[in-house]
Amino acid sequence: MFDVLILTDPRFMGGTTAAIAADMRAFSQAGLSVGLYLVQSDGFFRREDQPNPAVQDLADLDGVTLCNDRATLAAGVAFFHHPGIFLHPVLNPVHVTADRSLVVTHQPLFEGNGAMNFDPLRVMANLKQQFGTVPIWAPVSGLCRQHYRSLAPVLRLSREDWGNSFDVSTWTPRREKFTRPVLTIGRHGRPHAEKWPDTAADIAACLPATATSRIRVMGADRSHLNRLGVDVSAWDLVAFNGETPQAFLDSLDVFSYFYADRWVEAYGRTVAEAMLMGCRCILPDSLRPTFGPHALYGRPQDVPSMLAHLRDHPAEARAAAARARIRIEAEVSAVHIVARLQRLRRDIGTRSRRGGGHAGSLTTLRKLIGVRRRHRPAGRPQVSPAPAPARQRSGKG
């Protein structure tokens, strides 16, 4: 019996993989036994998507066992990472027995236009039929909790969010911020269109290249920005993963992060990274439920005036960034992960709507009917399964 069981598809490349990897490293360092089961989902990924080598490399951690050769798995806590991969029956189900099973919601329930992303009840039915378990849902953020609470009392949520964890010892700022009249403003992330505002005007507003603002961006799709008509001639563009996130973020004073109207951030791991590196963060108001007092909030067109205030009050800006770093470090530090896991194992969940949901009950029901109509099983795309794991490794459990 493992202390922890992780079930995920190896084709994730972004924040989901980073969050899983950080958790598993923390479990390993704490001496826990961890089972890793690589799910072959159907209909979620594109045909050309390949497994992320970093996921299979997690099997090399002490105490971790890659266990795809087993028909039954038992654990204290089983984490089903990302509900989307369980929306359709997977190609390699396994029976799971656990004291506590959880779906970790790396995906928000609603899109930016209010439509429902997927049918959580179908996910629950598939998990019960294929894995023999009825899990509770663990939001990764305050925003996700609002979304999934809309389906209470049908869904049972964990009482505590399972937010992203970090080895905070590797996120130490080395450069004092706000010491120069020219501020360095920037952002980093996947070079996907939905990660950027919809118009050139909004992009230019939230990343203003002026005599007093230098722009650095890591991970931008230059061709997409050119199609929108964004002038990037004065930007310092760094290829995706061209620098370590720590080094890149340490070069910034301000992290300005806005995205398309249709996009909803389940958590915003890059934002937490920026806070850990001492950047002052400017964000859309939709991220307030997740980051609370740690950031400044507004619209893209509000950014220039915010920057002017930060530039005119550098000591105030440094102090605010330092407070945000201390607070976010306390929330995300991996040193607390064993205590969080113990609380989660005892968590029977809640079906309460207290605190309010993203949408009312009748609206949520209409959207649930709508998503079922849009995603009838007969019309879903067929996607080749992920290649089977190439190796097995022994370990605890």
In terms of pLDDT, which residue wins out, 131 or 377?
Answer: 131
Kindly report the number of other CB atoms within 10 A of residue 292's CB atom: 14
**Integer CA distances (angstroms), 382 to 8, 44, 46, 190, 212, in order:** 19, 9, 9, 25, 51
What pLDDT sits at residue 387? Answer: 45
Q: What is the pLDDT of residues 173-187, one digit of tens each?
A: 999 999 999 999 999
Residue 99 has pLDDT above 50, yes or no: yes
Q: Nearest Cα to 85, choosing from 136, 45, 117, 138?
A: 45
Q: Comparing C-alpha atoms, which of 2, 56, 50, 48 is closest to residue 28?
A: 2
pLDDT over 90 (residue 245): yes
Which SS3 state, helix, strand or coil, does residue 140 take?
coil
Kind and range of the H or E run holding 303: helix 303-312
pLDDT band at 302 (very low <50, low <70, confident <90, very high): very high
Whole-angstrom Cα distance, residue 80 to residue 135?
9
Provide φ and ψ at 25, rounded to 5°: -65, -40
Residues spanned by CATH 3.40.50.2000 within the chain?
168-332
Asked if pLDDT for residue 315 goes beyond 50, the answer is yes
Residue with the bigger pLDDT between 366 and 94: it is: 94
Give strand pairing partners of 237.
217
Q: 67-76, 177-186, 230-239, 352-361: which has the minimum mean pLDDT?
A: 352-361
Burial (Cβ within 10 Å: 0-12, 13-18, ≥19) of residue 379: exposed
Token digits for 169? 């010892």
Sequence-ordered strand ranges (E) for the chain: 2-8, 34-38, 64-66, 72-81, 95-105, 136-139, 183-188, 213-218, 236-238, 254-256, 280-283, 296-297
User: Taking phi first (over 0 means left), then psi (-120 to 50 degrees means alpha), and beta for anything else, what does residue 114 get?
Assistant: left
Give the homologous superfamily in CATH for domain 168-332: Glycogen Phosphorylase B; (3.40.50.2000)
Q: How many residues does the chain have?
A: 397
Q: Give the pLDDT score at 381.
A: 44
Is-contact 81 106, C-beta < 8 A? yes
Confidence of residue 377 (pLDDT cuts 50, 70, 90): low
Confidence class for position 385, pLDDT limits 50, 70, 90: very low
240, pLDDT greater than 80 = yes
CA–CA distance, 107 with 40 (Å, rounded to integer): 18
Q: Give the mean pLDDT of 104-126.
A: 93
Exposed/middle/buried for residue 198 (C-beta within 10 Å: 0-12, 13-18, 19+): middle
pLDDT score of 388 = 45
Angle at 328 between CA 262 and CA 137, to 5 degrees: 55
Average pLDDT, integer, range 326-355: 92
Residue 379 has pLDDT above 90, yes or no: no
Average pLDDT over residues 382-391: 43
DSSP 30: T
Contacts of 219 (CB under 8 A, 6+ apart): 188, 189, 190, 191, 238, 239, 240, 241
What average pLDDT score do residues 108-115 get?
A: 91
- 359 has pLDDT over 90: no
pLDDT, tens digit (0-9, with 9 covering 90-100), for 256-292: 999 999 999 999 999 999 999 999 999 999 999 899 9
Amino acid at 339: A
How does residue 14 score in pLDDT terms, banded at 50, 70 and 90?
A: confident
